[in-house]
Amino acid sequence: MRILSGQSGRMTMRLLGGAGLCLFMGTTLAQDADAQIDELRKSVDIFAGVLREALGLNNRAGIFSPLNGSVQGLYLADQGVVLELVTPLSNTRSFYGVQSLSSSLQELSGRLSSLAATQSMRLQRIELSGSGDSSSSTLQADPTREPYRELLERLVSVDFSAEVETSLRAAAEAASSLNLSGHIDRAAYEALVQELSQLRQQASEQALAFRTLRNRISEEGAAAQELDPTVTSRWQSEIDALQRSIEPIREAARAKAQELREQSEQSRLAREEQWQRDLVAFEVNLFKVVCDYSAALRLLPEEEHLTLVLKGLGEETDVRREDRILVLQKADMQRCLLGEIASEQLQDSARSYSY
């Protein structure tokens, strides 16, 4: 082993000592940084807890019910503190989800079907161009039977079942929406279900009467040896009577659908306006709490930010419901804490956007 001595040895020792010092200082700085992160983590947890309590997000509807909301935080180096807030507003923005609506409509549809007549509402279209129906073919081929064929075509042209069925479906959807939103109570909803089922029953009975009349005209026309104006007139009168009997049903279904759609739209607009008012009130309270308790974030570096992510409270698109983002400067929070600006001014200073 070579032993260093003299000036060379002293220089080497100084180099070794400098390296050790650098290693020691680097270790110390890393430990200090870790300690600072730990302290910031504690500060974020404390501040998140304050927000949960002050904003009422710790409340439960019952002993076994979930919390009213939550606040989850994290610290991003060189950026700042990020807090994600889940509030009751994100749950009440839409009073029902797609799955809830679907299941409710399925239930309503099933109930209406079980209460309605078993006969089909839709009239069978008559094929007059040769479909294997001997009576229809006969009527088409023989010019002397033209009045009978015209009667059958008239029956087809006044098919009302599709229109009534569409109206009843629209009314059922609107009734379900009103019930789920709380606009009408269970008793009113049950009454609507019963009313719609009665309309469907009446429509089914009229559809059966149309089919019966169609078949009678077809059979008698095929069996007749010659044109009988008296019989033709009688069939015309029966068709007129049937048309008159279905008109009240058609109008009732159309009017009920229109009435319930208007109520549903009014209910939706009222809920949306109330939700917007609730959001404004929530944010006003949020900034008051941030102003009053921002001392918990005193360890946050001056150039960094507090970012509040309000889950599901941003813009709503056809694809998804965005979050509302609020970004605050630490300097502005300090000024508010010291009383130099009010919480309203702190709110105005925040950068906000949806993402």
The residue ranges of DSSP E strands in 34-184, in sequence order, are 70-76, 80-86
DSSP string, 175-231: HHHHHHHTSS-HHHHHHHHHHHHHHHHHHHHHHHHHHHHHHHHHHHHHH-SS--HHH
pLDDT for residue 148 is more than 50: yes
Q: What is the mean pLDDT of residues 340-354?
A: 96
Determine the 3-state secondary structure of 280 from DSSP: helix
Cα 127 to its chain centre, rounded Å, is 44
81: left (phi over 0), alpha (psi -120 to 50) or beta: beta
pLDDT in tens, 256-309: 999 999 999 999 899 899 999 999 999 999 999 999 999 999 999 999 999 999
Beta bridge partners of 71: 85
Given a contact cutoff of 8 angstroms between Cβ atoms, the answer to whether 311 and 89 are in contact is: no
From the number of C-beta atoms within 10 Å of its C-beta (0-12, 13-18, 19+), residue 288 rates as middle
Given a contact cutoff of 8 angstroms between Cβ atoms, the answer to whether 343 and 336 are in contact is: yes
The residue ranges of DSSP E strands in 100-153, in sequence order, are none
Percent of the chain with pLDDT over 90: 43
Residue where the block lists tokens 């009732």: 252
**Nearest Cα residue to 136 out of 155, 121, 122, 119:** 155
Q: What is the mean pLDDT of residues 148-166?
A: 77
Phi, psi for residue 133 in degrees, rounded to 5: -85, 110
pLDDT in tens, 101-137: 444 444 444 444 444 433 334 433 333 333 344 444 4
What does the alpha-carbon distance between residue 280 and residue 274 come to, in Å, rounded to a whole number? 10
Boundaries of every domain in the chain: 44-86+298-354, 98-269
